[in-house]
Amino acid sequence: MRAWMGVDLGTQSVRAALVADDGAVLGNGAAPLQSRRWPDGRHEQDPESWWRAVADASRQALDAAGPADVAGVACCGTSGTVLLVEDAPGDPARPLTPGLMYDDARAADEALRVARDPAPVWAKLGLSPQRTWALPKALWLVRHAAPPAGPTARLAHQVDLVTSRLVGRPTAADTSHALKTGADPLAGVWPEDDLARLGLDPAILPPLARPGTVLGHVCADAAERTGVRQGVPVVAGMTDGCAAQIAAGVLSPGEWSFAVGTTTVLKGVSAELPHDPTGALYSHRSPDGLWWPGGASSAGAGLLSHEFKVDDFPELERLAAAREPASCVMYPLVSAGERFPFRRTDATRLTLGEPADDADRFAAILQGVGYVQRLCLDHLRALGADVAGRVTVTGGATRSAYWPQLMADILRREVGVPRYSEGALGMAVLAASAEDGLVPAAARMTGPARVHHPRAGADFNEPYERLVAELHSRGWIGASLAAAATRPAPDSGPRP
């Protein structure tokens, strides 16, 4: 059976999936990863553990699948994870440093330098590099690598190490993973003069390739380690968030997806590059040339696990269904700081009113996540983006039958829950796209398992507008977003 392999390098594990041409998952594999964290915000992993885990997970997926002809492989990784490597005898990506993970916050001084002297192209793209982005960390690595990096050193993203070892030579970096390192997705190049001015020598930067490009073919050593046949094409991937978007089948303009886990990540599709003067929204370039705007909110299910025992969730959900709306309105943050749909480092959990009991507080958190999602879409609408398409939800929230329905009621539109939403599946689709394009590959390999329609009589407008008014009065959102959020919008989403 012809199949495609997708590999997802996460924070806690590497997952591999072998997926048939019709989207059937033939085999899965997983291998754990270990992190080192420090109280000052440093977060590292051993890059060698990534390659070991990729090999183990790939073999597991192949063993589970049985006989299958692997036609291509693609990898995604955590956005903003970087290290220094060099091409050594027998190793095209020998690590010179630990991997600085996506949320490593050590590069504070470098981030300030980038903010003071940004590349003009970043402003054009609406990019506002942040402390945990790859570019400040790359500048930190160049200054602080011990021992000092030699003339053969080069910068690599997490997946660059894996693809280089799969192919047996240094590979190009895809423009998706390179976005937070400062790459220009408009032109598909590095803004070398601007990066050099900041202190990043262009000589250490990898060449760039658009996602979906064939980077090379599996070499003999990698075939022995992973079990993937020698000669299989290795396709340039995308970040883990983009991989989940592909798996959800969100690929047409006007469609949007929310990945609801500890936090809430928004991804969508636009024919035109949306410009966000607040810097909360940034856009990836898709393999077919469209724009994939997105942002990550710190509001999500994290507050549920912080406040309640997981074993109590089913009963609390049952009781929450009778609290629509809840007695209080909440912006559900666990800790200080919000990144999207507005940027405020001083934003903290906001509660208007008092919950009547635990079930009411639980309901307020669920509804609060829905209000944040609605505000995200209203923010996009205020920027002129098309938000008329179906909304898809993935992540831990979809394990609940009630929560996606609540989202449909609050958002006043269809909410689809895809059959699969794992990043490894998205990368399998991207690997297949190298032959006939992303949309045709996704059309046959992805699809919604169920669709929730807004229920007649469900009305969350008043608490949502009360929350919006409070956010505006605190100065967390501007007048244009507050006006867009209270302006009537038609119920959206195509009917199946």
**Over the stretch 41-76, which tens digit does the pLDDT of each residue have?**
999 999 999 999 999 999 999 999 988 899 999 999
Which has the closest alpha carbon to 77: 231, 242, 275? 242
Sign of CA dihedral 61, 65, 70, 72: negative
**What is the Rg, in whole angstroms, of the alpha carbon atoms belonging to the chain?**
22
Residue 51 structure tokens: 């390659």
Own/partner pairs, 265-268, CB within 8 angstroms, 24+ separation? 265/241, 265/294, 265/295, 265/296, 265/297, 266/294, 266/295, 266/296, 266/297, 266/340, 266/373, 266/376, 267/241, 267/242, 267/292, 267/293, 267/294, 268/292, 268/293, 268/294, 268/380, 268/385, 268/387
Pairing of the two strands 291-297 and 282-285: antiparallel
Residue extents of the structural domains in the chain:
2-241, 251-420+459-486
| Gap between the Cα atoms of 124 and 294, Å rounded | 16
Helix and strand tally (H, E) in the chain? 16, 23
Sequence-distant (6+) residues with CB within 8 A of 166 are: 73, 216, 218, 219, 222, 226, 228, 234
Give the 3-state secondary structure of residue 311.
helix
What is the phi/psi pair of residue 356, to 5°? Answer: -75, -35
Per-residue pLDDT of the chain (496 residues; tens, 9 = 90+): 899 999 999 999 999 999 999 999 999 999 999 999 999 999 999 999 999 999 999 999 999 998 889 999 999 999 999 999 999 999 999 999 999 999 899 999 999 999 898 888 887 777 777 888 999 999 999 999 876 667 789 999 999 999 999 999 999 999 999 999 999 988 999 999 999 999 999 999 999 999 999 999 999 999 999 999 999 999 999 999 899 899 999 999 999 999 998 889 899 999 999 888 888 888 999 999 999 999 889 999 899 989 999 999 999 999 999 999 999 999 999 988 998 999 998 999 999 999 999 999 999 999 999 999 999 999 999 999 999 988 999 988 888 989 999 999 999 999 999 988 889 999 999 999 999 999 999 999 997 778 999 999 999 999 999 999 999 999 999 999 999 998 876 544 443 3
How do residues 301-319 score in pLDDT, each as one tens digit? 899 989 999 999 999 999 9
In the chain, how long is the greatest CA-to-CA distance?
68
Which one-letter DSSP state was computed for residue 300? S
pLDDT score for 277: 86
Residue 428 structure tokens: 């399998």
| Gap between the Cα atoms of 222 and 203, Å rounded | 27
Alpha helix (H) ranges present in 27-107? 47-65
pLDDT score for 495: 34
Q: Work out the end-to-end distance of the chain between its first and last CA atoms, rounded to an integer number of angstroms.
A: 31
| Gap between the Cα atoms of 460 and 421, Å rounded | 28
Residue 393 structure tokens: 């939800």
How far out from the chain centre does Cα 397 lie? 16
- DSSP labels for 94-108? EESSPEEPTT----H
pLDDT score for 186: 87
pLDDT score for 129: 77
Same fold, 2-241 and 251-420+459-486: yes
Q: What is the CATH number of domain 251-420+459-486?
A: 3.30.420.40
- CATH number for the 2-241 domain, one of 3.40.640.10, 3.40.50.10320, 3.30.420.40, 3.40.1390.10? 3.30.420.40
| Gap between the Cα atoms of 29 and 7, Å rounded | 9
Claim: this prediction has a pTM higher than 0.85: yes
